[in-house]
Structure 1
Amino acid sequence: MPFAIIALDKPHAEALRAALKPAHLDYLTARQHMMLAGGALLDADGQPIGGLIVVDTDDLQTAQAFAREDPFNSGQLFASVEVMPWRQAFFDRKRTR
């Protein structure tokens, strides 16, 4: 079942994000078989302020563990992290449901 992970950075955390980014990308690469989509959320100036990842897991607990173990999260970058079931309705400019 797909789950959306929506995380927002703490204010003024650009240096922490930069320091944690290599470990974060390694973590995601090692688990890319679980990921349907992912990327940074940006502010009006195009600067990262969080992230969105959609994972395909068997249950909510596995999706929550995925989010919890991400170095961005364990490294205290995020002010908030939400994990919730997600239902795809459109993909690549096409309706899927």
Structure 2
Amino acid sequence: MPRDLIDTGRLVISELVTNALLHTDSERIVCRIERRGFQVRIEVADQGPGIDPCAPRCCPADPDAEGGRGLLLLDAMATRWGVISPDQGAGCTVWAEIAP
């Protein structure tokens, strides 16, 4: 796999797992990675209530804030991403697809 795809994947996984750790009271967080050729789908599932679908665009971080930009970064790095909310299953799954 291309090095830049590996690096992007690491950043996406780090962001999604960090969000699950910081923003939910989950006892269990699961990361799933699926490769299809040079495309990779990353899913992180937790026991949380989900996220606001407009969060990356509606809630910009304060310029001096240490956090609050993760979903904006995800939006920039992924070719597509989304949320499978708890009403469609147990817990919340955030997924992202990345490609070179």
Instruction: Give the structure-2-normalised TM-score.
Output: 0.40
**Larger RCO (CA under 8 A, 6+ residues apart):** 1
Between Structure 1 and Structure 2, the one with more strand by share is 1
Instruction: Give the structure-1-normalised TM-score.
Output: 0.41
